[in-house]
Structure 1
Amino acid sequence: MSSREIDVLVLGGAGVDTIVYVPELPLPFADSYMIRPGIETRAGQSGDFVALGVHALGLRTHHLDMIGDDHEGELVRALHRDHGIPLTDVLQPGGTKRAVNLVDPQGRRLSLYDESRSGEEDRLPEETVKTLAAASCHAHVVITYPCSFTLPALREAGLTLSTDLHNWDGVNPYHEPFAYAADIVFVSTTALADPECTMRQIVERGRAEVVVATAGADGAYLLADDEVTHIPAVTPPGPVVDSNGAGDAFASGFLLGRLAGEPPLRCGLYGAVAGAYACTVPSTRADAISRYELLTRVQELDSKGVLVSGGGA
């Protein structure tokens, strides 16, 4: 580990979600629904969850993003304060990013993102980015606007970079600057017609050493050293109540292994354990697996001879 003061600098992805539990997805049209256990608004979007995840795993963490001077912004600041995660927030004139998450009884999620909060002129201050980058070992860049503008400064600072393209279809040009600038790329298989083809495209066109395509209950696929390997899903430690944040947790666990010098397959196991834990946490709560819990679970899986298998995505 480097002597720099920050292990993981997280850029972007701060915001607030309103959680609505629905009887099923897709939700059939009706005049009204009676909702239980209720509707709740809480801080926590992708960047918040990655910051929370790596912090809970014992990595020195710092989060940078644009946040509004509004009630939602105070919720985000309070989340970081309560968990002891350093946050540098830049004023977002359009207000704090927010979304509505519909969650069904199986824990599946449909997210509705409010795009009106960002403006074309929004930027993270270059000097702030450079100062934090100089103190960091690694940066995880969320694909929220305007994080793509920070990529050149982060590369110039000599950091390794990771990003999560979420449900990229392999075509949308918005995702390309992130996909081709990062050393570690996470992407969901949800919208990919040919996951392995997209994974190899990311390596060929960019600088990625590792690409991970997460596939929910089917586990994940790892492309490293020109070989695709299947990472089986790990049995969650409790009932599955919500998939929200599972991908962010996977990325957090993977980064713990990567920054500790573990081989990619081992990092994938760390990610699978963290992601499985996240599925047991209700949407209304912000929580992450601890370093002790993760390493203990990995040790248990080692003793059972959990295997990863070769094969395409």
Structure 2
Amino acid sequence: MSSVFIAGPASWNSLVVLDRLPEPVPHMQFAEESWQTIGGTSAGKALTLTALRRETLLYALSAVDEPGLRVRDALAAAGVNARWRDAAVTEQHLNLMTRAGERVSLYLAAPSEADAAHDEQLVAAMASADVLVLDLAAEPLRLLPLARSTGRPIWVDVHDYDGEAEFHRPFLAAADAVFCNADKLADPVAFLRSRIDAGASLAVCTLGADGAVAVDAAGDVHRVPAVPVEVIDTNGAGDAFLAGVLDAVLGGAAVPAALHAGAQAASQVLTTRHLHPLLDPVLDPARS
């Protein structure tokens, strides 16, 4: 069975739901709801791929502290196969959100890149996988040359890329498949076409409630609607979409069918307040 290697963030997050996002002036607001949970774009992808029974290895950094052990233990209990590297801090976010899906993410802590002490083992792990997913963070950025040396296809998720940010460019240059959202793109299809012209074989942009649009290697445009569900929380939906598409592509699906698989995977995540329903019995046993 084809396998996936994912490198990137796994975090411990505090989520706060507000009736509106805060204005940049001194004031007071009351939260409608708040909770703590697993975060991180790579953790989200690994959870969905695990639920789809795709062989997956998550490589992530965290400190051996209380938040870090919570993240490691919860993902292990959810069945995620992970390789952890000890770091000085565990990634932590404070997410301010509204019921409409608006979000401001405050990074409270983020680990820096690791040293090269275990690179030989990491290269071996990447070389044994069929697809590599490298997410936006310092350590995956460091790993990009090593990943490219394996010759394995590289999938990247540049999230709300605005077409100009410098940090994203090495990821885009290495990508065989590019995923993003439309939050900061004036013309998503034009951006997707630019990635195909640059050498990617697939480029996809999620459009929130409007589904997603993709451009394939032949330059053909494909669209898929979102799957209607009662939305509890939008965190992780884009990660689940990529994971669903990747799993379908590895299973031999053509682009239209893969996009539908991605939309279905995203819909599952929208119905839980965690990154994936696999975490419900782990983090919310009383609700399960």
TM-score if structure 2 supplies the norm length? 0.89
CA distance in 1, matches of 2:241, 2:56: 16
Equivalent residue, structure 2, for 1:83: 78
Q: Deviations over 1:273-304 (max 9, x none)?
A: 1112222212xx34248xxxxxxxxxxxxxxx
Equivalent residue, structure 1, for 2:286: none
Equivalent residue, structure 1, for 2:57: 62
Q: Which runs of 5+ in 1 are unaligned?
A: 290-313
Equivalent residue, structure 1, for 2:104: 110
Kindly indicate whether the alpha-carbon contact (under 8 Å) linking 2:12 and 2:38 is maintained by their aligned counterparts in 1.
yes
Equivalent residue, structure 2, for 1:177: 170
Are the structure 2 counterparts of residues 192 and 48 from structure 1 closer, same or farther at C-alpha, using a change threshold of 3 Å?
Answer: same
CA distance in 2, matches of 1:123, 1:50: 25
Q: Deviations over 1:225-279 (max 9, x none)?
A: 112222222212xx11211111001011101111001101111010111112222
1:19 aligns with 2:11: no
- Letter of the 2:120 counterpart: E
- Letter of the 1:112 counterpart: L
| Displacement of 1:98 | 1.1
Equivalent residue, structure 1, for 2:246: 255
| Displacement of 1:220 | 0.8
Moved more, 175-184 or 45-54: 175-184
Write out aligned runs for 1:128-277 (5 A): 128-205=121-198, 207-224=199-216, 225-236=218-229, 239-277=230-268
| Displacement of 1:48 | 0.6
Equivalent residue, structure 2, for 1:303: none
CA distance in 2, matches of 1:30, 1:281: 32
Q: Deviations over 1:96-149 (max 9, x none)?
A: 1111111212343221223x5334x63463213212113211111111112122
Are the structure 2 counterparts of residues 204 and 62 from structure 1 closer, same or farther at C-alpha, using a change threshold of 3 Å?
Answer: same
Equivalent residue, structure 2, for 1:71: 66
Is the partner of 1:276 in helix, strand or coil?
A: helix
CA distance in 2, matches of 1:76, 1:230: 35
CA distance in 1, matches of 2:265, 2:24: 33
Q: Deviations over 1:59-96 (max 9, x none)?
A: 01111022112211111111221012121111212x01
TM-score if structure 1 supplies the norm length? 0.82
1:46 aligns with 2:41: yes
CA RMSD of aligned residues (A): 1.9
| Displacement of 1:28 | 7.5
Kindly indicate whether the alpha-carbon contact (under 8 Å) linking 2:9 and 2:60 is maintained by their aligned counterparts in 1.
yes
| Displacement of 1:29 | 5.0
CA distance in 2, matches of 1:272, 1:255: 12
- Letter of the 2:200 counterpart: A
Are the structure 2 counterparts of residues 55 and 141 from structure 1 closer, same or farther at C-alpha, using a change threshold of 3 Å?
Answer: same
Is the partner of 1:178 in helix, strand or coil?
A: helix
| Displacement of 1:155 | 2.3
Matched residue count: 276
CA distance in 1, matches of 2:161, 2:225: 22
Are the structure 2 counterparts of residues 27 and 278 from structure 1 closer, same or farther at C-alpha, using a change threshold of 3 Å?
Answer: farther
Moved more, 252-261 or 102-111: 102-111
Kindly indicate whether the alpha-carbon contact (under 8 Å) linking 1:213 and 1:220 is maintained by their aligned counterparts in 2.
yes
CA distance in 2, matches of 1:202, 1:170: 11
Q: Which runs of 5+ in 2 are unaligned?
A: 279-288
CA distance in 2, matches of 1:106, 1:199: 26
